[in-house]
Structure formats: structure tokens, C-alpha cells
């Protein structure tokens, strides 16, 4: 609903009509992919049975598959797509770096470290299975802290180093360093904890319990709401901190709000679904190509819809419709995201523009 | 044009510089200056003296290390960031590089302190934006991307942005630094118009002394030991600009506000002929190390007029003709005509 308000309030240029068309098209795609994602899967169920399972109470096997597995998974995919894409958009603007994204600059690694601390470290007395209820929140909070700490570190670096490529390389170093710490922690942890952690790193949209899905939905909703508040700040930050300050933005406050928003969204997703690559960096660029604007009042809803559609599509592809095997969703998102990222790098060599 | 001489900006023993920890690096002795409504003020000083730091301090982007800055009689410290953004706008030397940003969007950013939390552009804001775009003659570029503009057009768009911000004072850090000569004068002309017609106080730094002297209402001349302010002519009479040069080989000509290299005078030459050609011939012989003789003595030059298309140089021993000033000067530089 919020996205529609956004369209209304966005100022209309000559390209305004085209933008509305794209919003409608994307919304249509999201709905289509959401339905397809529920209808298609490794167990083939007839369309009529799917509808029956959703709207009637038959207590069949199909109903269990649809309601307990496919529907939550589709909702998770949608949520994850929105959260990662939005945090990618915010990071790219704040860092003024087209290569920024939760997975690229080590934000996801930071979140992983937080998760590793919980699964491998503090839960020595508790079995990993007992991570329910409050446990979910502890896991998420650890992930937020890890992501937030890396964000602040990268911000500190990028205030000193202006070169995009240098920051990128430092981000990769940071990721590697964090991985090294995680490996050491793995080395000293016992078999059950290790197994729980390794399963988590594989990343999955389908392993969430309903209470975990609730926590994820709450966190991402908070993140999306905060991001709507941040549209004006992000627009100001496009010109860099000096200009943003000179037109009246409290740069420090803006950074805190945006970092909190990004850490909450990227952190929560990473906590429950594992590190999912390339959505956060690629989707904002797709939205920019489609909407041809730098205005976040349009880019934010655009990125939300594009991110949801792309992640749902990835999930559909990962189930390999027609066969009973399932691909890791991480592989699919990478294959979709990498060409976009390569395109952005090549384009950036030609033009001096940052985005 | 009647100007309202109300004081917009006052600097009172302002100390500028950088503070790191307890150590303060004060760049200049305390500065005193003021700016009135509708004035075009050029800030001049050598590289690294602290022009940019001064301008950043004025806009509140950098804290001062002492003294006071008053906007309309109110201390800068008593302004919130939003309120200050409605008093003073800023253009830095940084080149804005954002693709997919239309000129309209860029100018709309100037409305930041005037819009609601969403940054909604309503009819009133839209009108102010379009007015700013019109005043800077950017109407044709409204939907163009900023990344596609030439340097001059982009600078005009930046000025439109600051206009949309609707501040009484505009601070610009070297607004013409990277522009070609045509755009340079276009931008300067625009700044001049804004100060004259829209009553904007414009404070800009520049290295182009000639431009500053001919166009600005006032100059803030930053020297190592003080800030001198006044109309360009006042400073000229005081010989203030001579302080800009350490080396004795460059001299400032107080009569016409130009610079020349001091060189040993080789001699005097009289020039006979009409105004324009004589003016430029004089310039050329100056460059070659000669000065103009007031009375007709030998050597003298007769410059082309009527059917005569050649420059005729007559010395003690000979008379030589040249087809262009270039040839004349080449000859003067090579031959030691006076000692012959």
C-alpha cells in the first residue's frame, strides 16, 4: 500500500508515465511470481489441489506442503528480497559507491560472525535446537551487532580513503579476516554446534520455523518503515556530506538512522537465511536502470518491488520446476546478480558517474 | 539599482582552522569583515592560505576556533542546521557526479530545508524550483541528466540549486575554477545579475584577480597577517594587491589592474598611429622589454593606416618594415637596436 502512496507523491516529470507503468508491471510480476512460487515445487501438485489446500480445510498431505512449507517459503523469499535490496540501495547511496552491498563490503560476514558467536560460542550450555522464542531474538541481535560493527568500520575507512576500488578491496580483506575468526571458532567447537553452523551457512529460505518467520517479518517491517523515513536524507546524501550538511541535513543523525535500518534488515535476513549473495548489490542497479532516476522517493518503492520479484524468481528457479531436485538459492542469486554487477563495473569505467 | 545596505553577515575576530584533539591549528590571525545585502564579494588570497576553510566555516560545515559569525545579527551557534540552511547556501569545488539525476532533481534538493519529512515537492516548491531554473537559463536542460552537462551548464545547475534553497547569502568556492573562458564570464555574469536583481549576497573565492577587480562590489583580501576588505578600487589605491606577490619580478599595475613581469628596460620607443593598433603595439613592445616614449624620438614606429599596411620601425641607422606585430617583436627581441 505504501508504494502506491509513494507514486502519488513523487513529482511527475515527462518520464513519470513510464515510471508508473514500471511500478504496475513490477507489482504484477511480484504477484505472479508469488503465486507461481506456491504452485510450483519439487512435489508436483495440481493447481486445483493448491487452491483447495489454501481455501478449504482438507487436512491432506498437500495442505501440509502448501501451508507449512511453500507459503512460508514464498513469504520468506519476498521478505528477504525486499530487505537485502533496500539495504543495498541505502549502502550504495551512503557510501556513494556503486559496488556497496551487504555481501560485498563484509556486512554479511559481520552478521555471520555474530551468528557464529551465538551458535558456536555462547550456546555451549544450550543445544542449538533450543534457539527458539527468545533464542531467535538473541540470534538476530547478534547478527545486527556484527553487521553494524562492520558498517561503522567501513564508514571509518571510507572517510579516509576515497577510492572506490580500495574500499572494495579492504571490504574483501575484512570479509576474509572475519571468515578466519569464524574458522578458528569452528575449530574449537563441538560436533553438534559445528553442524548447526555449517547448515546455517548454506543459506536457505525454507528452514524457518513460524516463530522465526514472525521475527523476520517484524524486523524487516521496521526496516522498511525506517527506510521510508530515510528517503529525503538519502536524496541529500547523493551530493556528498558537505552538500548534504549545507542544505540542512544532520549528517550524523542520518547516518545513524540509515545504518540502523541497513543493519536490522541485512542482519535479520542473514541470521535466519544465511548469507545470500548479490541481491543487495544488483537489484538497486536494476531499479535505477528501470526508473532512470536518482530520487529515492521513487527508487525505494522501485527497489522493494524489484527485489521481491527477483528473489521470488530465484526461488522458483532454484526449485527446478518439473524435477524433484532443489538448487541452493545462493547459486541462483549469484548467477542473476553477477552479470548486473559486471555491467555496472564496465559502465563505470566509461563514465565517471558514481552510480 | 538601489541597494538596501543592511548587514547580512559579520565576522568578529573569527579564528579559523582545524582542531585535532587538544591541538588547535589556527590558520590566520582573527578575521574581521562584513557583507551587506546584494553585494558580490570576492575572496582573494594565495593557495593554501585558508580561503576554503573560511568559506566552510561561514557555512557552518566546520566549527570556528574562536570569535563569532553573525547572520542578520544572530550568532551562527544559535542557528539550527535547518535554520542556517535557509540563511546561507554553499557550492564547493567538489564536482557532483551522480548519474540518473536530472537537473530538476538536483535543483529540487535545494528545497531540502523547506519540504516536509518526506521531501514532498508540492506546487509551491515546484514553482520555486522552476523559477530558479529559469533564472539560471537552464529551462532547456530541465530533464537532462546532470552527468551529461558541460562544466558550465553543471555549474549553472548548481547555482539554480542554491537559488531554490532561497538563502540570502550564497557562498561559492571557486565557482569558475574549471570553466572555459566563455562559461567563466557567463557564470560571473549570472552571479552579478543575482546580486543586482535578486538582492543575493554572494561571497566567492577566486584566483582570477582581474575578474574580481572588475566585477565585485567588495574584496576580502586574505594576507598572511590580516584580512583587508574594501572596494577593489580602495584596495588598489592602498597598494594592497602588491602583498600578494613575494617575488619582485611580478608587478601589479594600479592604473588598470593588470600584472606584468618586471624586466630590465631596454629602451624607449615612440609609436605613431591610431588608437587600437597603437594600444596593442605598445603591449607587444612592453613584452619585448621596451616602454613607450612620450615624445617623438628615434627609434619610433609608424603603425599601419590607410594604404600603408606595414609597421615601420625607424632607428638611427635604418628603417625596417614588418607585416605583423609578431615580426616586429621578433626583430626587437633579437636585435639590440638601441646600441647600434
- A89: closest CA of chain B, how far (Å): 14
* A14 in B contact zone (CB under 8 Å): yes
Which among B82, B90, B101 has the least Cβ separation from residue A238?
B101
Which residue, among A230, A247, A351, would best test binding to B if mutated, counting the most B CBs under 10 Å from its CB? A247
User: What is the residue-level pLDDT of chain A in tens, covering all 355 positions?
Assistant: 444 333 333 444 446 788 899 999 999 999 999 999 988 877 777 777 777 777 777 777 777 888 888 899 999 999 999 999 999 999 899 888 888 888 777 888 898 898 888 887 755 555 445 545 567 788 888 888 998 898 888 878 877 776 667 777 888 888 889 989 988 988 888 888 888 788 777 778 887 888 889 989 999 999 999 999 899 999 999 998 889 999 999 988 888 888 889 888 998 898 888 888 889 999 999 999 899 899 999 999 999 999 999 999 999 998 877 777 788 888 889 898 899 888 887 876 544 444 5
Task: Identify whether A355 is part of a domain.
Answer: no
Contact B94 A353 (CB under 8 A): no
Query: Which tens digit of pLDDT belongs to each residue from A238-279?
Result: 998 889 999 999 988 888 888 889 888 998 898 888 888 889
Mean pLDDT of B123-128: 94
- B35: closest CA of chain A, how far (Å): 19
d(CA B35, CA B11): 9
- The share of chain B scoring above pLDDT 70, in percent, equals 92
CATH code assigned at A145: 1.10.3470.10
Q: Which residue of A has its CA nearest to B166?
A: A247
Look at residue A294 and give its three-state secondary structure.
Answer: coil
Degrees, nearest 5: CA angle B168-B173-B175 = 90
d(CA A282, CA A262): 16
Helices (H), A161-209: 164-187, 191-202
Which residue, among B55, B61, B114, would best test binding to A if mutated, counting the most A CBs under 10 Å from its CB? B61
Q: Which residue of B has its CA nearest to A252?
A: B81
**Residue A105, number of CB atoms within 10 A of its CB:** 30
Which among B100, B109, B117 has the least Cβ separation from residue A355?
B100
d(CA B295, CA A91): 75
Residue spans of the domains in chain B: they are: 7-245, 267-334
* B96 in A contact zone (CB under 8 Å): yes
Full-prediction pTM beyond 0.95?
Answer: no
Cα torsion at A306, A308, A314, A317 (round to 10°)? Answer: -100
Q: With beta carbons less than 8 A apart as the criterion, state whether B155 and B183 touch.
A: yes
- Look up the domain containing A225 and give its range: 2-350
Query: Which tens digit of pLDDT belongs to each residue from A74-111?
Result: 999 999 999 999 999 998 998 888 888 887 778 888 98
Contact B81 A245 (CB under 8 A): yes
Q: What pLDDT does A130 receive? A: 52
- Which positions in chain A touch B96 (Cβ < 8 Å)? 239-240, 243
Listing DSSP states for B23-61 in one string gives: EEEE-SSPEEEEEETT-EEEEE--TTSSHHHHHHHHTTS
- B128: closest CA of chain A, how far (Å): 14
Which among A229, A235, A292 has the least Cβ separation from residue B100?
A292
d(CA A270, CA A205): 11
Peptide bond into B299 cis (omega under 30): yes
The ipTM is: 0.81
- A37: closest CA of chain B, how far (Å): 33
According to CATH, what is the number of the domain B7-245?
3.40.50.300
Which among B97, B101, B165 has the least Cβ separation from residue A247?
B165
Sign, CA dihedral A142-A146-A149-A151, equals: negative
Of residues A155 and B324, more confidently modeled = B324
β-bridge mates for residue B267, sequence order: B290
Q: What pLDDT does B124 receive? A: 93
Which among A13, A232, A293 has the least Cβ separation from residue B117?
A232
**Which residues are within 8 A (CB) of A195 and not within 5 positions of it... i.e. 6 or more apart?**
none
Q: What pLDDT does A353 receive? A: 46
- Which positions in chain A touch B57 (Cβ < 8 Å)? none
Task: Identify whether A137 is part of a domain.
Answer: yes
Contact B89 A246 (CB under 8 A): yes
- Which positions in chain A touch B165 (Cβ < 8 Å)? 247
Q: Which residue of B has its CA nearest to A291?
A: B100
- Which positions in chain A touch B60 (Cβ < 8 Å)? 245
Contact A294 B99 (CB under 8 A): yes
Sign, CA dihedral A7-A13-A15-A18, equals: positive
Number of domains chain A contains: 1
Contact A353 B98 (CB under 8 A): yes
Contact A239 B143 (CB under 8 A): no
d(CA A121, CA A142): 12
- A167: closest CA of chain B, how far (Å): 18
Contact A247 B109 (CB under 8 A): yes
Amino acid at each position: 500500500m505504501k508504494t502506491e502512496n509513494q507514486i502519488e507523491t513523487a513529482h511527475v516529470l515527462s518520464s513519470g508515465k513510464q515510471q508508473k507503468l514500471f511500478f504496475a508491471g513490477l507489482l504484477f510480476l511480484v504477484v505472479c511470481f508469488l503465486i507461481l512460487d506456491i504452485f510450483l515445487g519439487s512435489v508436483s501438485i495440481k493447481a486445483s489441489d493448491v487452491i483447495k489446500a489454501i481455501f478449504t480445510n482438507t487436512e491432506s498431505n498437500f495442505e501440509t506442503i502448501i501451508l507449512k512449507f511453500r507459503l512460508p517459503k514464498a513469504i520468506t523469499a519476498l521478505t528477504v528480497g525486499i530487505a537485502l535490496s533496500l539495504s543495498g540501495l541505502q549502502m550504495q547511496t551512503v557510501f556513494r559507491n556503486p559496488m556497496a552491498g551487504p555481501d560485498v563490503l563484509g556486512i554479511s560476514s559481520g552478521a555471520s560472525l555474530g551468528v557464529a558467536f551465538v551458535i558456536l560460542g555462547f550456546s555451549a550450555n544450550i543445544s542449538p535446537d533450543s534457539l527458539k522464542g527468545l533464542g531467535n531474538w538473541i540470534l538476530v541481535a547478534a547478527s545486527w551487532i556484527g553487521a553494524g560493527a562492520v558498517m561503522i568500520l567501513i564508514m571509518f575507512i571510507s572517510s579516509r580513503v576515497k577510492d572506490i576500488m580500495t574500499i572494495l578491496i579492504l571490504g574483501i580483506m575484512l570479509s576474509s579476516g572475519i571468515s578466519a575468526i569464524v574458522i578458528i571458532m569452528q575449530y574449537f567447537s563441538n560436533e553438534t554446534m559445528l553442524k548447526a553452523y555449517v547448515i546455517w551457512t548454506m543459506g536457505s529460505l525454507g528452514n524457518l520455523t513460524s516463530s522465526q518467520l514472525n521475527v523476520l517479518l517484524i524486523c524487516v517491517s521496521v526496516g522498511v518503515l525506517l527506510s521510508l523515513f530515510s528517503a529525503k536524507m538519502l536524496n541529500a546524501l547523493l551530493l556528498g556530506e558537505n552538500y548534504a550538511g549545507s542544505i540542512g541535513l544532520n549528517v550524523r543523525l542520518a547516518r545513524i538512522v540509515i545504518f540502523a535500518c541497513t543493519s536490522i534488515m541485512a542482519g535479520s535476513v542473514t541470521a535466519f537465511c544465511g548469507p545470500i549473495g548479490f541481491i543487495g548489490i544488483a537489484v538497486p542497479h536494476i531499479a535505477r536502470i528501470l526508473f532512470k532516476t536518482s530520487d529515492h522517493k521513487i527508487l525505494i518503492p522501485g527497489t522493494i518491488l524489484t527485489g521481491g520479484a527477483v528473489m521470488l524468481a530465484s526461488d522458483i528457479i532454484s526449485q527446478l520446476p518439473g524435477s524433484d531436485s532443489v538448487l541452493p538459492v545462493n547459486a541462483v542469486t549469484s548467477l542473476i546478480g553477477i552479470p548486473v554487477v559486471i555491467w555496472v563495473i564496465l559502465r563505470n569505467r566509461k563514465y565517471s558517474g558514481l552510480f | 539599482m538601489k541597494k538596501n545596505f543592511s548587514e547580512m553577515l559579520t565576522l568578529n575576530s573569527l579564528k579559523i582552522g582545524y582542531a585535532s584533539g587538544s591541538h588547535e591549528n589556527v590558520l590566520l590571525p582573527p578575521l574581521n569583515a562584513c557583507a551587506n545585502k546584494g553585494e558580490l564579494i570576492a575572496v582573494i588570497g594565495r593557495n593554501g592560505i585558508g580561503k576554503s576553510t573560511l568559506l566552510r566555516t561561514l557555512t557552518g560545515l566546520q566549527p570556528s576556533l574562536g570569535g563569532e559569525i553573525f547572520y542578520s545579527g544572530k550568532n551562527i551557534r544559535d542557528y539550527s542546521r535547518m535554520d542556517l540552511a535557509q540563511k546561507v547556501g554553499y557550492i564547493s569545488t567538489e564536482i557532483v557526479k551522480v548519474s540518473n539525476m536530472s537537473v530538476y532533481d538536483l535543483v529540487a534538493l535545494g528545497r531540502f530545508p523547506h519540504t516536509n519529512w518526506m521531501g514532498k515537492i508540492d506546487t509551491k516548491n515546484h514553482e520555486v524550483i522552476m523559477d530558479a531554473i529559469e533564472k539560471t537559463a537552464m529551462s532547456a536542460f530541465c530533464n537532462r541528466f546532470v552527468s551529461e552537462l558541460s562544466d558550465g551548464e553543471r555549474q549553472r545547475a548548481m547555482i539554480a540549486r542554491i537559488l531554490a534553497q532561497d538563502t540570502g547569502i550564497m557562498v561559492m568556492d571557486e565557482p569558475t575554477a574549471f570553466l572555459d573562458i566563455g562559461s567563466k564570464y557567463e557564470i560571473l555574469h549570472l552571479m552579478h545579475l543575482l546580486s543586482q536583481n535578486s538582492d543575493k549576497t554572494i561571497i566567492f573565492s577566486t584566483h582570477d584577480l582581474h575578474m574580481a577587480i572588475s566585477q565585485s562590489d567588495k574584496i576580502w583580501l586574505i594576507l598572511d597577517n590580516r584580512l583587508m576588505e574594501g572596494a577593489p578600487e580602495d584596495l588598489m589605491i592602498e597598494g594592497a594587491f602588491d602583498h600578494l606577490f613575494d617575488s619582485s619580478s611580478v608587478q601589479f599595475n594600479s592604473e588598470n589592474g593588470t600584472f606584468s613581469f618586471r624586466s630590465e628596460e631596454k629602451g624607449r620607443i615612440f609609436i605613431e598611429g591610431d588608437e587600437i593598433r597603437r594600444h596593442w603595439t605598445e603591449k607587444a613592445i612592453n613584452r619585448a622589454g621596451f616602454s613607450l616614449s612620450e615624445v617623438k624620438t628615434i627609434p619610433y614606429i609608424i603603425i599601419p593606416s590607410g594604404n600603408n599596411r606595414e609597421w615601420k620601425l625607424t632607428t638611427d641607422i635604418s628603417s625596417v618594415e614588418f607585416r605583423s606585430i609578431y615580426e616586429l617583436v621578433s626583430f626587437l627581441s633579437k636585435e639590440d637596436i638601441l646600441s647600434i
